[in-house]
Amino acid sequence: MRRGASRVFPWLLLVAACAARAAPLAIAVSQSASSLPLYVAERHGYFAAEGVQARIVACGGGASCLRALFDGKAALATAADFALVASRFERNDLLLVATYATNRDEVKVIVRKRAGIRTPAGLAGKLVGASAGSFGHYALDRWLRAHDVDPQTVALLDLQPSELAAALRAGEVDAVAVWEPHAWRLVRAFPNEALPLSASDGARHGFNLLATRAAVRGRDADLAALLRALGRAERFIAERPRDAQALLRERLGLDRRFVHSVWPGYRFEVEAARPALAETLEEQARWLLREGYAPNKTVPDFAGLLRAPTGTARSGN
């Protein structure tokens, strides 16, 4: 009995290992314009063409995508830099597979026209609505500092994105800081009362493909194929922007005018190692610590996070 088991057991291990490698990669994908390369790769069959089975699981945003990853409902997840940093304070098993898009104009400051605010300096002494500790709050802080305005001179009212429009229209705040598409929808809802100001400080913020090390252990070949598929999607977007925009509108039910308005801010480029990324993540981590939104007193180590597994380098094909 033991001899027979010793002959069969290795075969069972081999079958199990093959099945694990063949299992589709579930990717928790934020329902955002930034996710366009993944939508293009799925629609045009680039995943299958590169030899990887991938399945997109829709989620509301970076935080919910990461939760799906941590709960074992997905092998990979999409998240912006800021959501990645916030999670890194609590998890040390994250792996940055690649950055697939960046944006330099994701956050807008929407002011009440009657408040007479037209520049960052005009916000001094005013009340601004934003989700405390969020990327909108962080971008507002950087924008003010970039224009020599002390953020301490601006009062913050902690509101959820869904509450900002009503607060602005009722005059409870003089301005709000919020990311897209909330900003565009707010301005469209109250065109006579809301004036958008770009909160860009010139920096490009990334949208990333993340995994836990356990979820992708032994799947380096699949990850390399996944990045090749995203590289093909990137070229499609660059060569056929109108078709890419049409796919985005169809996939997320977005208004043509919104897609047109945010398109110039995006750069769709698959990067396995973004220049100066560690410094960017550390700066955001220091801000969370300084403002009291981080659960401990030290900046996380981002070096291990940035070590892509063997075989995930971007293909030139």
Q: Average pLDDT for residues 236-250, to the nearest whole number?
A: 97
pLDDT at 272: 80
Same domain, 100 and 111: no
Same domain, 97 and 112: no
Same domain, 162 and 216: no
Q: Average pLDDT for residues 208-232, to the nearest whole number?
A: 94
Asked whether residue 27 is assigned to any structural domain, the reply reads yes
Same domain, 161 and 219: no
The CA distance from 119 to 111, in Å, is: 10
Same domain, 224 and 240: yes
Distances (CA, A) of 19 to 22, 52, 229: 5, 13, 22
Asked whether residue 90 is assigned to any structural domain, the reply reads yes
pLDDT at 308: 53
pLDDT at 266: 95
Q: Average pLDDT for residues 79-85, to the nearest whole number?
A: 94
Same domain, 239 and 210: yes
pLDDT confidence tier of residue 91, bands split at 50, 70 and 90: confident
The CA distance from 237 to 241, in Å, is: 5
Same domain, 98 and 191: no
Q: Which range has highest mean pLDDT (8-17, 110-119, 201-210, 281-290)?
A: 281-290
Q: What is the CATH number of the domain that holds 87?
A: 3.40.190.10
pLDDT confidence tier of residue 11, bands split at 50, 70 and 90: very low
Asked whether residue 273 is assigned to any structural domain, the reply reads yes
Q: Average pLDDT for residues 76-84, to the nearest whole number?
A: 95
pLDDT at 301: 86
Q: Is 4's pLDDT higher than 80?
A: no
The CA distance from 313 to 96, in Å, is: 12
Q: Average pLDDT for residues 67-72, to the nearest whole number?
A: 95
pLDDT at 316: 39
pLDDT confidence tier of residue 168, bands split at 50, 70 and 90: very high
pLDDT at 292: 92
pLDDT confidence tier of residue 275, bands split at 50, 70 and 90: confident
The CA distance from 22 to 12, in Å, is: 15
Of the candidates 156, 183, 198, which is a domain's last residue? Answer: 198
Same domain, 56 and 96: yes
Q: Average pLDDT for residues 170-179, to the nearest whole number?
A: 93
Percent of the chain with pLDDT over 90: 65
Q: What is the tally of structural domains in the chain?
A: 2
Of the candidates 198, 221, 238, which is a domain's last residue? Answer: 198
Same domain, 72 and 214: yes
Same domain, 40 and 150: no
The CA distance from 241 to 3, in Å, is: 63
Residue that is written with structure tokens 């499609």 in the block: 236
Q: Provide DSSP, the chain.
A: -HHHHHHHHHHHHHHHHHHHHHS-EEEEEESSGGGHHHHHHHHTTHHHHTT--EEEEEESSHHHHHHHHHTTS-SEEEEEHHHHHHHHTT-S-EEEEEEEEEES--EEEEEEGGGT--SGGGGTT-EEEE-TTSHHHHHHHHHHHHTT--GGGSEEEE--HHHHHHHHHTTS-SEEEEETTHHHHHHHH-TTTEEEEE---S--EEEEEEEETTTTTT-HHHHHHHHHHHHHHHHHHHH-HHHHHHHHHHHHT--HHHHHHHGGGEE---BSS-TTHHHHHHHHHHHHHHTT-SSSSSPPP-TTTT-PPTT-SPP--
Q: Who has greater pLDDT, 197 or 243? A: 243
pLDDT at 17: 46
Domain that holds residue 231: 2-104+204-290
Of the candidates 147, 163, 198, which is a domain's last residue? Answer: 198
Average pLDDT, the chain: 87
Q: Is 112's pLDDT higher than 80?
A: yes
pLDDT at 5: 43
The CA distance from 130 to 141, in Å, is: 11
pLDDT at 131: 93
Asked whether residue 309 is assigned to any structural domain, the reply reads no
